[in-house]
Amino acid sequence: MIRFNNAGLLLPADDPTQGGRTVLAPCRVDLAESRIAVIGANGSGKSTLLRMVNGLVSPSTGSVTVHGFDTVAQAKAVRRRVGFLFTDPLSQLVMPIVSEDVELSLKASHKDRTARSAAALAALAELGLEHLAQRSIYDLSGGERQLVALCSVLAAGQDILVADEPTTLLDLANDELLQRTLGKLRQQVIYATHDLDFAATADRALLVEGGRIVFDGHASEAVAAYRWMVRHGSMSA
């Protein structure tokens, strides 16, 4: 269970550019469904909400807990349970060779190098990526890079995946491939997206506008509410 307990982010009043701005208004929400989408305009607060789940952003008010662990006070415990997939896979792929990058995620759990290499190959095989093991990440397509980044995240064994617009940089074929892969995962997946068809496949969706959760419910209803707000000019600029 992920719990937002009056959690929000207000920039300090002495911030020279955005002092006092509410990035995310304090909210109380529990996230338990297998697939949860977060939708809304650019700058609405979606990424802030996602990054609070694994402690990349600390709330300035209230708290966020994951399975009872506070994302600030118990950050290490939270990050052992929550993996984060960024929009651009090159921002998180560290090693030049695919298998080496996955091995890096396994370093803490597999001290023996031979065992670590075997576990990395097994993790790649689980996503059907074993044929990429010795390839350079720079020779991969955008979709392949995103899948390798996903593999590196999942290899660490977390049971929650947070993904910030993971399909934005992908062409149609790779977009659909990644969506199918995410759909098969055993992990709980919480993702922000501008792809409303993708959002509608979730069990639940949060619509964020102007730093506030303005709709929380069935994904198809959230998408319909978002479309209505955009068409009637009520979304924040």
Mean pLDDT of the chain: 93
Fold of 1-81+160-169+187-237: Rossmann fold (3.40.50)
What mean pLDDT do residues 142-162 have?
94
| pLDDT interval class at 16 (50, 70, 90) | low
Q: How many residues does the chain have?
A: 237
Tokens of 209: 């506008």
pLDDT of residue 115: 94
Q: State the Cα–Cα distance between residues 234 and 191, nearest whole angstrom.
A: 23
Q: Kindly list the domain boundaries of the chain, sorted by start residue.
A: 1-81+160-169+187-237, 89-157
Beta strands in the chain (DSSP E): 2-10, 22-31, 35-39, 61-66, 69-70, 82-85, 160-164, 188-192, 204-209, 212-217
pLDDT of residue 105: 93
pLDDT of residue 12: 75
pLDDT of residue 182: 94
Say what the pTM is: 0.91
Alpha-carbon separation of residue 53 from 18, 59, 67, 81, 164 (angstroms) = 23, 10, 11, 10, 12
Please list, in sequence order, all residues whose beta carbon lies within 8 angstroms of the beta carbon of residue 206, skipping any fewer than 6 positions away.
29, 36, 37, 38, 39, 49, 213, 215, 216, 222
pLDDT for 100-121, tens place per residue? 999 999 998 898 999 999 999 9
pLDDT of residue 234: 65
pLDDT for 42-69, tens place per residue? 999 999 999 999 999 999 999 999 999 9
pLDDT of residue 14: 62
pLDDT at residue 129 above 70? yes
pLDDT at residue 190 above 70? yes
Check: CB of residue 93 under 8 Å from CB of residue 144. no
DSSP 57: S
